[in-house]
Amino acid sequence: MKILITGIHGFVGGNLVKALGQSNEIYGLDIIMPEKDGVVRTFSWDDFDNGFVPQVEAVIHLAGKAHDLKKTSGPEVYFKVNTGLTQKVYDWFLKSSAKKFIFFSSVKAAADFVPGDILTEDIVPNPVGPYGESKIKAEEYILSHPVADKQVYIMRPCMIHGPGNKGNLNLLYGVVKRGIPWPLGAFENHRCFTSIDNLCFVIEGLLAKDVASGIYNMCDDEALSTNDLITVICKALSKKPYIWYLPRGLMNVMSRIGDILHLPLNSERLTKLTENYVVSNTKIKKALGVDKMPIRAEEGLTQTIKSFVNTK
């Protein structure tokens, strides 16, 4: 199969090339164009605008503006990239001979926090902030332009991780490595993650099988608490976990003091660190005809953390 991957030089793009490159003809579309093993050619966005990108059978649209935790980017950047670029690529797909389109949205397009026990695809989207809002606008554009003879998949992954990942897990790893105790042990929250191996498994399935178009959540089968995650990191480092179970009331008071004094622990950060975000992946497993994902959540996280150990 000839496949076009946008954002091919990113973390997910590189892993998809490894997973798909052996038995498919991969083309890339990105802002940078170095040669890459397993890729026939990477095109620039100017090439795309000028009609130089060849016809393919499937498009995987990864390119986008990631969630900026430091809040240094204005809202217009998110909408220009996450919404505008998706519209451009999807319009090209509609006019092309390609039969499958896979768009990487985010669970944050559905909800900034999970109402109830578990997030399913049936939720009425209510994103908060420009990242989620720009992603849902892209989804709405795709859904408003249905096509009968093509298959279109909107994927909503939870936080994606794997060897080489530089995201939030890396930051938490750094805290644990320095021996800093985790003070929020009393908050037994649970969150879902997406192992890069499970992600590649899902995408391979969507390309190979006759799966109905639609919106699909993507995550590992198990939700883990932050305490579980601290323990996984400590095992990888051969360290004893230091988890402090300080009273929740005390931590709430300290976070409000942090709001006033502009300390690292403030109310917003406490909420993000301790909230539940459990997501259902039942729909995508049923669509692919599988009972479980190939990689367990703890196994995938251990692989990711060990990659930090080996590179630092």
pLDDT tens digits, one per residue of 116-175:
889 999 999 999 999 999 999 999 999 999 999 999 999 999 999 999 887 778 878 888
Q: What is the mean pLDDT of residues 44-57?
A: 95
pLDDT tens digits, one per residue of 271-285:
888 889 999 999 999
Q: To the nearest whole percent, how much of the chain has pLDDT over 70?
A: 97
Residue at token pair 């608490």: 225
CA dihedral (48, 50, 53, 58) in degrees, to 10, reads: 60
**What is the reported pLDDT for 268?**
85
**What is the reported pLDDT for 71?**
63
Q: What is the mean pLDDT of residues 57-77?
A: 83
Buried b (16+ CB within 10 A) or exposed e, 28-62: bbbeeeeebebbeebbbbeebeeeebeebbbbbbb
On whether residue 102 sits in a domain, the answer given is: yes
Residue 86 Cα distances to 74, 80, 96, 168, 202, angstroms: 18, 9, 15, 25, 21
pLDDT tens digits, one per residue of 254-270:
999 999 999 888 998 88
> Mean pLDDT, the chain, as a whole number?
93
**What is the reported pLDDT for 69?**
58
Q: What is the mean pLDDT of residues 72-97?
A: 93
On whether residue 250 sits in a domain, the answer given is: no
Find the distance separating the first CA and the last CA of the chain, reported in whole Å.
38
On whether residue 92 sits in a domain, the answer given is: yes
**What is the reported pLDDT for 215?**
98
Question: CATH number, domain at 151?
Answer: 3.40.50.720
Contacts 24+ apart (CB under 8 A), 119-124: 119/217, 119/277, 119/278, 119/279, 119/280, 120/217, 120/280, 120/282, 120/283, 121/156, 121/214, 121/215, 121/216, 121/217, 121/280, 121/283
On whether residue 246 sits in a domain, the answer given is: no
Q: What is the mean pLDDT of residues 40-66?
A: 95
Q: For residue 16, give its domain range.
A: 2-164+191-223+278-295
| Measured distance CA(136)–CA(56) in Å, rounded | 26
Measure the CA angle with vertex 157, ends 278 and 150; round to 5°.
130
| Measured distance CA(161)–CA(164) in Å, rounded | 8
On whether residue 286 sits in a domain, the answer given is: yes
How many domains does one find in the chain?
1
On whether residue 26 sits in a domain, the answer given is: yes
On whether residue 236 sits in a domain, the answer given is: no
Task: Examine the pLDDT at 312 and tell me if it is beyond 60.
Answer: no
Q: What is the mean pLDDT of residues 85-104?
A: 97
DSSP-assigned beta bridge partners for residue 191: 224, 277
**What is the reported pLDDT for 199?**
98
- Angle subtended by helix axes 86-95 and 130-143, to nearest 10: 20
Buried b (16+ CB within 10 A) or exposed e, 143-168: eeeeeeeebbbbbbbbbbbbbebeee
Q: What stretches of the chain adopt beta strand conformation (E)?
A: 2-6, 25-29, 39-43, 58-61, 100-104, 151-157, 159-161, 190-191, 193-195, 214-218, 224-225
H-only helix segments in 25-166: 45-49, 75-78, 86-95, 130-143
**What is the reported pLDDT for 70?**
60
| Measured distance CA(236)–CA(239) in Å, rounded | 8
Task: Examine the pLDDT at 35 and tell me if it is beyond 90.
Answer: no
Lowest-confidence segment of 101-105, 174-178, 210-214, 289-293 by average pLDDT: 174-178
On whether residue 159 sits in a domain, the answer given is: yes
